[in-house]
Amino acid sequence: MPIDRFLQIPEEQLQPEEAGLLTKAREAALSAYAPYSKFSVGAALLLENGEVITASNQENAAFPSGLCAERVALFYAGSRFPGVALKSIAVAVLSDKKEKDRVYAPCGACRQVMAETENRQNQPFKIIFEGPGNLITYCNGIEPLLPFSFKLSTE
Ligand code: THU
C-alpha cells in the first residue's frame, strides 16, 4: 500500500539484497544494550564496496550518552570506510512490549545523520525499516523522511 513516497511491502517483495540486509539488521538487534528502554534496535548497512556493517543501540545510565543503532553503524562506516558510498540501510526493532502493527521509523537525529551521509556521497541510498511486527516500510533517499533538511556548505 503506497503512503505518499513510502512503500509498505511484504518481506517477499524485497529484493534479495535488501531482504538479506534486513535479516542482518534483525540479528544485530540481538546485540543491543538496552536495559533502560528494553527497546532493541539493529541496523545493517550495505556499502558500495560490498562491505556490510551492523550495529545496535547502546544505552547508558546517563541517558543522552547512549546512541541509536543507525548512528553507531553510520559513524563506524564513516570512520572505517571514509569515501565509500552507502547503498542501503536496513533497521529492525525487536521488542515484546511494543504494538506489533506500528511503524517505527528512525528518530530525527538519525535522519539528520543519514542526510549528511547522502549529501556527502551526493547520491541517495535505500532506507528500509520495520517494526516488531515485521511491517516493512521502504523509501529511496532521505528526503521523504527528512524534507527541507539542514545543510552547510563544505566549501
Ligand atoms: N533507538 C534507535 O536505536 N534508533 C532509532 O531510530 C530510535 C531509537 C533506540 C535509542 C534507545 O536506546 C531506544 O531505541 C529507545 O529510544
25 found inside a domain: yes
Catalytic residue among 11, 27, 51, 70: 70
The pLDDT mean for the chain works out to 92
Residue 55: inside a domain: yes
Mean pLDDT in residue range 38-46? 96
- Of 67, 107, 137, which is best to mutate to test ligand 1, by the most ligand atoms within 8 angstroms of its C-beta? 107
- 8 pLDDT tier (thresholds 50, 70, 90): confident
Q: Is residue 125 part of a domain?
A: yes
CATH number for the domain spanning 119: value is 3.40.140.10
For residue 98, what pLDDT band results from cuts at 50, 70 and 90?
low
Q: Angle at CA 20, nearest 5°, toward 39 and 121?
A: 85
What residue numbers bound the domain in which 33 lies? 3-140
Query: Is the shortest distance between the CB of 18 and ligand 1 below 6 Å?
Result: no
Per-residue pLDDT of 103-138, as tens digits, reads 889 999 999 999 999 999 999 999 999 977 777 999
On whether residue 113 sits in a domain, the answer given is: yes
The DSSP 8-state label assigned to residue 3 in this structure reads E
Q: CA torsion, points 99, 104, 109, 112, in degrees to nearest 10?
A: -170
pLDDT, residue 154, reads 86
Q: Is the pLDDT of residue 1 over 50?
A: no
Is 28 near ligand 1, meaning CB less than 6 Å away?
no
Which residue out of 33, 38, 39 has the highest number of ligand 1 atoms within 8 Å of its CB and is therefore the one to mutate? 39
Instruction: Decide if 155 is inside a domain.
Output: no
Number of domains in the chain: 1
More confident residue, 13 or 27: 27
Report which protein residue has its CA nearest ligand 1's atom 7: 107
Specify the higher pLDDT residue, 95 or 128.
Answer: 128
- Give the per-residue pLDDT at 85: 98
Is 147 contained in some domain?
no
Residue 90 scores a pLDDT above 70:
yes
Beta carbon of 110 within 6 Å of any ligand 1 atom: yes
Please name every residue paired with 88 in a beta bridge, in sequence order, or none if there are none: 46, 126
pLDDT at 2: 45
Regarding the beta carbon of 124 and ligand 1, being less than 6 Å apart is answered no
